[in-house]
Amino acid sequence: MLPVNKIIGFELQPLQIGLLVAIAIFAAIFVTGRVFLTRLTMRRNTMTRSDGVLVGPSSRPMPHDLDQQRASKLLERVARFVAPTDKTTLSTLRRELVQAGYFNPNALAIFFVWRMVAVVGLPVVLVAASPLLSFAVPAGKLVWVAAALAGIGIVLPPIVLDFLRSGMQKVNRMAFPDVMDLLVVCVEAGQSLPTAINSVAKEMMQIWPKMGANLHLVFLELRAGSTLQSALQGLADRLGIEEVQSLATLLKQSEELGTSIAGTLRVYSDEMRDKRMLRAESKANSLPVKMTIPLGLFIFPCVLLVIIVPLAIRIKSALM
């Protein structure tokens, strides 16, 4: 039987073998933890009946529930070593994760664990894959590149989170006018505001699932005894868009002044529809300016080449 080094085509050093084993162990641990968290999420989703009322779990714990609790505790213990101790930073990061669409209670721990994996894993992958390179890299440069990759692992997860949060905010801003239209229809049909929010949440689950889930949380907060102002403030914090904050202020003023909620919602719905149309018109008007750079870099040289080359050929032929 041929040795492993002959089969793979290069010789592995003991350090590289150890790094490969460490990568395999880390991958097995985090894949297992991810499976446990997925099963936990699926179980929580099955706890919701078709009418939108949450059903409490049974008092007798199931075996897979115990496994999920152990996985959650393991993630929390690992995150303690890499998570900052500043409560303000943790609160801000938790709010950003919620605004990005991650409602899992362990989302903060998962974020720090994946950040640690990026910091450690990128240099480990570089050192383990160095024999695959067709050229020899000096040890000093390899250390500097590994340090640079570790720095990238530190800053990359927040950048990705900010990108996901911005994308989710764009989706929520696009879906909010539809929410307002459905809310106006439900309120003018005679439903109370909490019931209307629940009805809109059920309808939005089919079109904008994240928005529907946030509205369902507002309905649950209202049913639990929270005020409309605090529930809408929580919705504004979860969505991260100023339109919800304006709606909360508008409904508070409408309640204090005793005006019609249906009329207030209709006026605000028309305003949201106009804002969405203005955003679309603004993007359309900025399109010619954005097309200037691609036209100048790619299309204009080709057109210039097509015009000049035949002219240069004719001039050369005439001179000869």
CATH number at residue 199: 1.20.81
Q: Does 236 lie in the same domain as 177?
A: yes
The answer as to whether 291 is a domain residue is no
The answer as to whether 269 is a domain residue is yes
Query: On the CB side of 42, how many CA atoms lie within 13 Å of its CA?
Result: 9
Instruction: Answer yes or no: is pLDDT of 200 > 70.
Output: yes
**Residue where one domain finishes, among candidates 260, 276, 292:** 276
**Tens of pLDDT along 147-182?**
888 888 888 888 888 999 988 888 888 888 888 888
Q: Does 212 lie in the same domain as 129?
A: no
The answer as to whether 319 is a domain residue is no
**Tens of pLDDT along 24-74?**
666 666 666 565 655 555 565 555 444 444 444 444 445 445 555 665 565
Residue (of 127, 118, 144, 165) closest to 17 by Cα position: 127
Report whether 23 contacts 124 (CB < 8 A). yes
Quickly count: other Cβ atoms within 10 Å of residue 255's Cβ: 14
Instruction: Answer yes or no: is pLDDT of 188 > 60.
Output: yes
Question: Of 89 and 222, which is predicted with more confidence?
Answer: 222
Q: Does 42 lie in the same domain as 127?
A: yes
Q: What is the pLDDT of residue 247?
A: 84
pLDDT tier at 256 (50, 70, 90 boundaries)? confident
How many Å apart are CA 290 and CA 294, to the nearest integer? 8
What is the pLDDT averaged over residues 187-200? 87
Q: Does 122 lie in the same domain as 16?
A: yes
Provide the domain count of the chain.
2
**Tens of pLDDT along 216-247?**
989 998 888 888 888 888 888 888 888 888 88
Task: Give the angle 190-196-202 at the CA atoms, nearest 5°.
Answer: 135
Question: Of 20 and 159, which is predicted with more confidence?
Answer: 159
Q: Does 120 lie in the same domain as 34?
A: yes
Domain membership of residue 209 as a residue range: 171-276
The answer as to whether 208 is a domain residue is yes
The answer as to whether 296 is a domain residue is no
**Tens of pLDDT along 298-313?**
888 888 888 888 888 8
The answer as to whether 235 is a domain residue is yes
Residue showing tokens 């240069």 = 312
* pTM of the predicted structure, to 2 decimals: 0.62
Decide: helix, strand or coil at residue 103.
coil
Instruction: Answer yes or no: is pLDDT of 77 > 60.
Output: no
Q: Does 125 lie in the same domain as 178?
A: no
Q: What percent of the chain has pLDDT over 70?
A: 70
DSSP 8-state code for residue 132 = G
How many Å apart are CA 48 and CA 52, to the nearest integer? 6
Quickly count: other Cβ atoms within 10 Å of residue 55's Cβ: 9
